């Protein structure tokens, strides 16, 4: 009986030790970016799930094209879901990818707060997360591939100041409330505008051209002495240009951010003045390569910065996506 009792105690001890070891495992090591615990895979073996905020915007269509092109060249299997600017829909899409046990999630968040729950769900499932263009306010990610949106906002305000001088009467059209791009572009713009410009009004138009047209029309009705309009993306800048034209105003300086083809055309025609151009297709390419690098045991930086540049009528023919 004593021998049996000793064996039972030993068996319980061994079970306890294995249980502790199991609790200490972190699967792919995505929460700490510890690539030593990652099961290495070739690009051909990878299955990636991509959630894009919307494809109803040329900027994100270019991003999608960049993702697909890079995946095709590297022979990575890619599944793409369009959240249609709906945070709840994006959460459902990501949950589906988690259920499919994809090797990594590439996410362009609709909302930087709402996406946190989905990222944490991926963390719990040991699925690495890479963010594109927009950040998150929580959860663990391998890297965030994005332009410096704070710098983009600053560049826009500095351009307006340089062109019109200090205290120029300015409107601001902001993006989707809660999106990191909205917060960061607004922050950068404010850093310069609070001392250099006279911002008459700042209102959200959700990064949407039609909403920007209506919002800008209302803003203009309240103050037709406006000299400049800063739009946090090109879609809103194009909407603002329509509103300016409809109001019969001239010489209103309009600056957007993104560098999309329609904006280049509008700059060439003189409908808008400038854009701070980003490279969404390049971001998609970098995101794919980041996933490949992770599964090859390479360490990723927490932030991967994609360059931006000012496009005006003087250099519009030199740049495009």
Going along the chain from its start, the domains and CATH numbers come out as 43-146+278-305 (3.40.50.2300), 147-275 (3.40.50.2300)
Length of the chain: 321
Q: What is the pLDDT of residue 33?
A: 43
Closest CA to 249 of 217, 275, 214: 217
Element (H, E) at 183: helix 180-196
- Distance separating alpha carbons of residues 271 and 240, to the nearest angstrom: 10
What phi, psi does 45 have (nearest 5°)? -85, -15
Closest CA to 155 of 6, 35, 258: 258
Distances (CA, A) of 298 to 35, 41, 54, 241, 301: 7, 12, 31, 46, 10
Closest CA to 210 of 186, 244, 240, 247: 240
CB atoms within 10 A of CB 77: 14
- The token duo for 281 is 């297709």
Residue ranges for the chain with pLDDT beneath 50: 1-36
- pTM value is 0.76
pLDDT in tens, 155-164: 999 999 999 9
Q: Are 261 and 320 in contact (CB under 8 A)?
A: yes
pLDDT in tens, 262-319: 999 999 999 999 999 999 999 999 999 999 999 999 999 999 998 899 999 999 987 6
Q: What is the pLDDT of residue 319?
A: 61
Closest CA to 258 of 162, 185, 177: 185
- The token duo for 212 is 């920007």
Q: What is the pLDDT of residue 128?
A: 98
Q: Are 215 and 186 in contact (CB under 8 A)?
A: no
Element (H, E) at 242: helix 234-246
């Amino acid at each position: 009986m004593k021998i049996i009792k000793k064996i039972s105690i030993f068996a319980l001890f061994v079970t306890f030790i294995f249980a502790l070891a199991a609790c200490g495992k972190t699967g792919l090591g995505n929460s700490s970016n510890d690539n030593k615990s990652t099961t290495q895979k070739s690009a051909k073996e990878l299955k990636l799930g991509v959630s894009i905020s919307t494809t109803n915007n040329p900027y994100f269509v270019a991003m999608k094209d960049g993702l697909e092109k890079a995946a095709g060249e590297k022979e990575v299997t890619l599944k793409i879901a369009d959240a249609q600017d709906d945070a709840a829909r994006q959460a459902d899409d990501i949950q589906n990818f988690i259920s499919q046990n994809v090797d990594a999630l590439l996410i362009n968040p609709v909302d930087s707060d709402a996406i946190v729950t989905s990222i944490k769900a991926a963390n719990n499932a040991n699925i690495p997360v890479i963010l594109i263009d927009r950040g998150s306010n929580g959860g663990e990610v391998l890297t965030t591939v994005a332009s410096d949106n704070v710098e983009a906002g600053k560049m826009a305000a500095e351009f307006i100041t340089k062109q019109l001088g200090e205290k120029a009467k300015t409107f601001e059209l902001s993006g989707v409330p809660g999106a990191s791009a909205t917060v960061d572009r607004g922050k950068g713009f404010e850093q310069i505008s609070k001392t250099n410009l006279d911002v008459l009004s700042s209102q959200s138009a959700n990064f949407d051209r039609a909403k920007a047209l209506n919002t800008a029309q209302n803003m203009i009705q309240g103050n037709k002495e406006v000299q400049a309009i800063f739009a946090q993306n090109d879609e809103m800048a194009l909407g603002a240009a329509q509103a300016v034209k409809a109001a019969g105003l001239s010489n209103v300086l309009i600056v957007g951010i993104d560098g999309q083809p329609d904006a280049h055309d509008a700059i060439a025609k003189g409908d808008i003045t400038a854009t701070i151009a980003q490279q969404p297709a390049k971001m998609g390419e970098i995101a794919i390569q980041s996933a490949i690098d992770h599964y090859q045991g390479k360490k990723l930086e927490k932030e991967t910065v994609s360059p931006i540049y000012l496009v005006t009528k003087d250099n519009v023919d030199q740049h495009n996506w």
